[in-house]
Amino acid sequence: MYVLKNGFVVDSENGLYGKMDILIKNGEIVEIGENISINNAKEIKIYDLSGKTVFPGFIDMHVHLREPGREDKETIETGLKAAVAGGFVGVAPMPNTNPICDNKVVVDYILNQAKELKLAEIYPIGAITKGEKGEELAKIGEMFESGIVAVSDDGHPVTNSMLTRRAFQYIKQFDIPLISHSEDVYISKDGVMNEGEYSIKLGLKGIPNSAEEIMVDRDIILCEAENSRLHIAHASTNGSLRMVKEAKLRGVNVTVEVTPHHFTLTDEEVEKQDYSTDTKVNPPLRNKKDRDAIIEYIRDGIVDVIATDHAPHTKVDKNVEYDFAPFGISGIETAVGLVVTELLKKDVIDLNRMAELLSINPRKILKIKGGIKKGNLAKLSIIDIDKKWIVNKNEFYSKGINTPFNEMELYGKPYMTIVNGNIVMKNGEILG
């Protein structure tokens, strides 16, 4: 049994906003209130959270953990250590592992690995199609029974519209979303960065906004026609978010996420960092107009979720010419700092909105239980909002140190991560 004292608790879902204590026993929240009186104080551990903010546990609903198959890039263990270090109590890994997570056996393996580790929780995402080949539907029903929370062919968009239509029809019976990696690969083929001023200047083949927007539009149309559920992953353009806004106004069941790197950086970063392949991500860093539009859609409430698209790679993979490097940024350990620095401190969002973007909305979309409520298991993300820190990629718990944010000064350091009542991270140290 222990008590968290003097933290500033933020959970609009449960009407909490202010300084209060939280008493936790056997992993469960048993009392929430101001100045909780403690009997048998010698038997109760007290954690003073003065100056810290207590959020319902953050969920990163878009990560790549690489295991099984590419344990040189990341393992479930290193990925979950990175998650709790970054302030996340749970993650939803994409299915593009080797073998692909398109069947019950792989789903069970992932869940069992996470259960043994007792770090962050895992909510697997299953493939839409077998082998992510876009030819026939995967065994979605079987995977749902094993515990998947959504389906996606992230990294390999389903170009066959009829197959996508069938997927929307099929998932309705499970009430799970189809997560769309929105990319027309015929338009984006061989592109390595945003198409525009800097791709011309740097002599690199560009990826136009239309490659993303065409598929966003298609998937909204199919979702609306089938009255199904759609989640747009890593939206990066003004046009994509405008279409989502219009679809929401029509009543389409569509949600959307953006990443910290897309609301922080622009394609100019490729030049600033002298062709560093740590700036290479898909969808690419867009121009200032798109970046500013993303921020406004966050401010206006159109964006539902901030997710990292955590994509760790080895030094060997990234230490090649820009054209040949894999896409991806290792993002789970810098996400909270970027949200605080670029959004909270600049008054784009407030604390309640931060809780929505990182915890409440991801849980609603994926139907995950949580929240700071008496009787619930304690799943909490405790952040030192005003703490300044410098990103040091060599201190990452993730195997992937491919970050464009190295040596950047940020506000907002995760202080404590509590999963099912267990303190798994405190002040940067993994305890789980």
Helix, strand or coil, per DSSP, at residue 48? strand
Q: Of 320, 230, 314, nearest to 276 (Cα)?
A: 320
Asked if residue 153 belongs to a known ligand binding site, the reply is: no
Asked if residue 363 belongs to a known ligand binding site, the reply is: no
> pLDDT tens, 182-233?
999 999 999 999 999 999 999 999 999 999 999 999 999 999 999 999 999 9
Helix, strand or coil, per DSSP, at residue 101? coil
Q: Are 303 and 258 in contact (CB under 8 A)?
A: yes
> pLDDT tens, 261-309?
999 999 999 999 999 999 999 999 999 999 999 999 999 999 999 999 9
Whole-model pTM?
0.97
Q: Going by C-beta distance under 8 Å and a sequence separation of 6 or more, which residues neighbour residue 194?
A: 206, 207, 267, 284, 285, 286, 287
CA-to-CA distance for 69 and 99, rounded, in angstroms? 7
Q: In order of start, what are the domains of the chain with their CATH numbers?
A: 2-53+375-430 (2.30.40.10), 57-366 (3.20.20.140)
What mean pLDDT do residues 374-379 have? Answer: 98
CA-to-CA distance for 370 and 361, rounded, in angstroms? 11
Asked if residue 328 belongs to a known ligand binding site, the reply is: yes
CA-to-CA distance for 183 and 259, rounded, in angstroms? 16
CB atoms within 10 A of CB 35: 10
Helix, strand or coil, per DSSP, at residue 26? coil
Q: Which string of b and e fits 82-97 if b means at least 16 CB within 10 Å?
A: bbbbbbbbbbbbbbbb
Q: Say what the pLDDT of residue 33 is.
A: 95
Please tell me which residue in 153, 309, 317, 384 is annotated as part of the active site: 309
> pLDDT tens, 324-369?
999 999 999 999 999 999 999 999 999 999 999 999 999 999 999 9
Q: Going by C-beta distance under 8 Å and a sequence separation of 6 or more, which residues neighbour residue 394?
A: 401
Q: Say what the pLDDT of residue 38 is.
A: 78
Asked if residue 262 belongs to a known ligand binding site, the reply is: no
Asked if residue 62 belongs to a known ligand binding site, the reply is: yes
List residues bridging with 306 in a β-sheet: 258
Q: Say what the pLDDT of residue 41 is.
A: 65
- Residue in this structure with the two tokens 């929307």, named with its chain if needed: 168
Q: Are 350 and 424 in contact (CB under 8 A)?
A: no
Asked if residue 178 belongs to a known ligand binding site, the reply is: no
What mean pLDDT do residues 5-17 have? Answer: 97
> pLDDT tens, 41-77?
678 899 999 999 999 999 999 999 999 999 999 999 9
Asked if residue 231 belongs to a known ligand binding site, the reply is: no
pLDDT mean across residues, the chain? 97
CB atoms within 10 A of CB 369: 9
Asked if residue 313 belongs to a known ligand binding site, the reply is: yes
Is 217 a known active-site residue? no
Q: Percentage of the chain surpassing pLDDT 70?
A: 99
Q: Say what the pLDDT of residue 39 is.
A: 73
Asked if residue 253 belongs to a known ligand binding site, the reply is: no
Q: Residue 169 corresponds to which tokens in the numbers above? A: 């029809």
CA-to-CA distance for 198 and 200, rounded, in angstroms? 5
Q: Are 108 and 146 in contact (CB under 8 A)?
A: yes
CA quadruple 213, 219, 224, 228: dihedral sign = negative
* Amino acid, single-letter form, for residue 347: D
Burial class (CB in 10 A: 0-12, 13-18, 19+), 420: middle
CA-to-CA distance for 306 and 60, rounded, in angstroms? 8
